[in-house]
């Protein structure tokens, strides 16, 4: 295997691992907050359904955590095996956030164990709720620290470059780089949003399949409200991300928007196809890109004409941008319609077709997350460490990466199918109606 093949397979394996891991990582970050909110609402309203909601979500969450640990470990392993030159150069800079991410995960896991073990040991549910605060914080900080590593790769700082080595390293300065605020905020908001829509799609699916229990209706309304709130937050942070790119990574913004020539009053291009350098069938929003980049409709936006061709990202990232934005808007609209429909008791929210739209919300949110991460990673190319080290320079020269790719593909296939089957059987054998009936029977027995 030649060096170019090693680079290719290293990139494919890393992309496969990240694409698989991001599903479980997103659930791992977002679900603890959903559990905490459900339990808090249950305590506030003195409603057993929300307490049970928190319990059942926790059972499923534990399975996703287990798979997330495996894939997260795989990423750590692959950083050293597939990208040894990158780790040799930047390892001492990113070691701190990597260590902090591990610490945050342990913090989360310890309190999650205590929370599960003490389900029936607290008469005062408010005290039990307190255990969820470190779980949710640990999950979110785990995402924050690992995202900081990614932000550093996009906006490296906190060191001097001397004879190809990073010296005078300041890990704190490196961590608080210009890319950090928007990246961290975007990752957290999208994780909460996606988790809410996944849980909403489960509730909608149960209603579609004939269960008319109030438990599922409460779950659906709560999660659609949360999904709407975080989809709005995601859109606002996305606007800040555009402004960050315009200032610090203009070549990435230009490639994502097919903005070929530097100009004032630049239009925002959505959809379309590229035909021999010409954009066809696109939706152009006049002055949109100038406003996105600088909050000024007549501002100048740097185009791809200012960059050498071998330092510009692949132009297909425009399609990833389209997918991410379109699905985000779609989820916002569907959740808003459901909330308004529930508020005014409109009949369309009970229709089969609308419930199917909500069922689709979960998978579509995951696709939006995937498109966003591919846009982030591919949009940084050809650099692994922007303006310092190219991806081709960072990869291993090993001739066995193709074998690793095959083995890891089999592992992810087993983990993916296995986790879905375990979750399916767990909840199918223990439906909420049965659990509520058993609980009522236990209460009646205690009264006797």
- Over the Cα atoms of the chain, what is R_g? 24
Q: Tens digits of per-residue pLDDT, 235-292? A: 899 888 888 888 888 888 888 888 888 888 778 888 877 777 777 777 778 877 888 8
Summarize pLDDT for 373-410 with one digit per residue, the tens.
898 888 888 888 877 888 887 777 777 788 888 888 88
Which two tokens mark 106?
């342990």
Q: For the purposes of burial, counting CB atoms within 10 Å of the CB of 317, is it exposed (0-12), middle (13-18) or buried (19 or more)?
A: buried
For residue 233, what pLDDT is reported? 92
Averaged pLDDT of the chain: 83
Distance between CA atoms of 97 and 94, rounded to whole angstroms? 6
Nearest to 430 by CA among 66, 34, 56: 56
pLDDT, tens digit, 9 for 90 and up, residues 12-24: 888 888 888 888 8
Instruction: Answer yes or no: is pLDDT of 192 > 90.
Output: yes
pLDDT-based confidence at residue 438 (cuts at 50, 70, 90): low
Check pLDDT > 50 for residue 447: no
> What are the pLDDT digits (tens) for 50-109?
888 888 888 888 888 888 888 888 887 887 788 888 887 877 788 888 888 888 888 888
User: Which of 274, 361, 255 is CA-nearest to residue 315?
Assistant: 255
- 385 CB-near residues (< 8 Å, 6+ apart): 86, 89, 90, 153, 156, 394
pLDDT in tens, 343-358: 887 777 777 788 888 8
- On the 0-12 / 13-18 / 19+ scale of CB atoms within 10 A, 203 is buried
Asked if 26 and 366 count as a contact pair (C-beta separation under 8 A), the reply is yes
Q: What DSSP string describes 27-79?
A: HHHHHHHHHHHHHHHHHHHT-HHHHHHHHHHHHHHHHHHHHHHHHHHHHHHHH
Using the predicted structure, report yes or no on whether residue 367 has a pLDDT greater than 50: yes
User: Among 423, 435, 447, which residue's Cα sits nearest to residue 58?
Assistant: 423
**pLDDT at position 117 over 90:** no
User: What tokens appear for 333 in the block?
Assistant: 């609209």
CA distance 304 to 312: 7
Lowest mean pLDDT among 30-34, 297-301, 405-409: 297-301
């Amino acid at each position: 295997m030649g060096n170019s093949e090693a680079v290719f397979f290293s990139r494919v394996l890393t992309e496969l691992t990240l694409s698989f891991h991001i599903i479980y990582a997103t659930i791992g970050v977002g679900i603890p907050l959903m559990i905490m909110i459900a339990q808090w609402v249950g305590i506030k309203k003195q409603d057993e359904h929300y307490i049970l909601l928190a319990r059942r979500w926790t059972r499923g969450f534990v399975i996703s955590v287990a798979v997330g640990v495996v894939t997260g470990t795989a990423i750590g392993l692959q950083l050293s095996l597939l990208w040894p030159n990158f780790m040799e150069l930047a390892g001492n800079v990113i070691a701190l956030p990597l260590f902090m991410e591990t610490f945050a995960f342990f913090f989360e896991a310890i309190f999650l164990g205590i929370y599960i073990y003490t389900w029936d040991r607290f008469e005062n549910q408010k005290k039990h709720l307190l255990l969820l605060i470190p779980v949710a914080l640990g999950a979110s900080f785990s995402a924050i620290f690992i995202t900081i590593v990614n932000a550093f790769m996009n906006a490296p700082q906190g060191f001097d470059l001397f004879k190809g080595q990073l010296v005078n390293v300041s890990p704190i300065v490196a961590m608080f780089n210009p890319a950090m605020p928007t990246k961290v905020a975007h990752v957290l908001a999208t994780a909460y949003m996606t988790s809410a829509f996944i849980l909403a799609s489960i509730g909608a699916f149960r209603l579609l399949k004939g269960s008319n229990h109030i438990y599922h209706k409460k779950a659906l309304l709560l999660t659609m409200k949360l999904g709407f709130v975080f989809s709005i937050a995601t859109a606002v942070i996305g606007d800040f991300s555009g402004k960050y790119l315009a200032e610090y990574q203009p070549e990435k913004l230009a490639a994502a928007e097919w903005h070929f020539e530097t100009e004032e009053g630049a239009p925002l291009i959505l959809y379309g196809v590229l035909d021999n350098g010409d954009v066809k069938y696109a939706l152009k929003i006049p002055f949109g890109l100038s406003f996105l980049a600088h909050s000024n409709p007549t501002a100048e936006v740097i185009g791809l004409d200012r960059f050498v061709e071998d330092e510009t990202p692949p132009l297909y990232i425009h399609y990833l941008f389209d997918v991410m934005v379109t699905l985000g808007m779609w989820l916002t609209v569907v959740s808003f319609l459901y909330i308004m429909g529930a508020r005014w008791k409109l009949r369309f929210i009970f229709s089969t077709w609308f419930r199917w739209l909500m069922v689709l919300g979960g998978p579509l949110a995951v696709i939006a997350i995937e498109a966003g991460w591919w846009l982030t990673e591919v949009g940084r190319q050809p650099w692994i460490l922007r303006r310092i080290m190219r991806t081709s320079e960072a990869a291993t020269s090993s001739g066995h990466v193709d074998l690793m790719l095959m083995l890891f593909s089999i592992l992810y296939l087993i983990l993916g199918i296995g986790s879905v089957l375990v979750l399916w059987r767990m909840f199918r054998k223990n439906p909420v109606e049965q659990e509520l009936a058993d609980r009522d029977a236990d209460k009646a027995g205690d009264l006797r």
